[in-house]
Amino acid sequence: MKLKLWAPVCVEWSDAHGGDDGWQPFDPSHIATPVPITSVGLLAAQNRQGVTLVMSRNGITNDIASYLFVPRVNIVSIRELR
């Protein structure tokens, strides 16, 4: 599905996780599954490698504030929010 650039989108994706709380007993549940993440933003770019979302965009200058790249392999679903 080809989404429109600058359209608001919701991306459901799987992320890696880890931690370092000092020495602790090993818990096998920590390695069982990726963490489900939901990100919402304006679609700034998409290609075979993934999608880039921006949180804010100046409509006059096209300047952006805060962006996120999600690799295609991590994406579970993506949909337009209109």
Provide the β-strand partners of residue 38.
12
Residue 1's pLDDT band (boundaries 50, 70, 90)? low
Residue 28, in any domain of the structure: no
Count of the separate structural domains present in the chain = 1
Residue 43 within any structural domain of the chain: yes
Q: Which residues make beta-bridge pairs with 15?
A: 35
DSSP state of 14: E
pLDDT at residue 20 greater than cutoff 90: no
Q: Which domain holds residue 3?
A: 1-15+33-82
Q: Is residue 70 part of a domain?
A: yes
- Tell me the pLDDT tens digit for each residue of 32-68: 789 999 999 999 999 999 999 999 999 999 999 999 9
26 is a domain residue: no
Question: For residues 76 and 10, what is the distance between their CA atoms, to the nearest angstrom?
Answer: 11
What pLDDT is recorded for position 70? 98
Domain membership of residue 20 (yes or no) is no
Residue with the larger pLDDT of the pair 30 and 3: 3
pTM for this entry = 0.85
The string of DSSP codes covering 27-64 is -GGGGS-PEEEEEEEEEEEE-SSEEEEEEEE-TTT--E
**CATH number, position 73:** 2.30.30
